[in-house]
Amino acid sequence: MTAAKSYFQDRLVLLLLSVNSFLTLLSTILILFRIGGTSEFIVQYRSNLGVSRFKAGSVASILAFIVYAFVVFAANTALSWRSYHVRRQLSLTILLLGTILLLLCVIVSNALLALR
């Protein structure tokens, strides 16, 4: 059985790939629905700066979260697929870490968009 065939027949791998693709699409949809109306957003929050703790940015700064989500999804899928024939647990760990990164992307982007 080839590595690609066994990779896509592993149920846990398919579950994690489905979760990662769902989180990628969720972050994309939530960001696109919430950016309408204004052209300036809060893109950074620095709690140690006192009065000037909010840093403003443009729409491109917020759209970078969408690019980040797709890059994380693609990189984790490729790394997991390439490492599956070496060790299954390593491949699953890579996918789980990607899930954590995508979940944090959704949380941080929504928190910044709620501050505007």
What is the mean pLDDT of each successive set of 10 residues along the chain, which is 116 residues long? Answer: 76 96 97 82 80 83 94 97 92 97 95 81
User: Model's pTM, two decimal places?
Assistant: 0.86
Query: DSSP assignment, residue 99?
Result: H
For residue 56, the model assigns a pLDDT of 84
H-type alpha helices, the chain: 3-9, 11-34, 59-83, 88-114
Q: Which residue has the tokens 């066994």?
A: 6
Query: Angle CA(43)–CA(48)–CA(52) in degrees, nearest 5?
Result: 55
Domain carrying residue 26? 3-114
For residue 1, the model assigns a pLDDT of 56
Question: How distant is the alpha carbon of residue 31 from its chain centre?
Answer: 12
Number of domains comprising the chain:
1
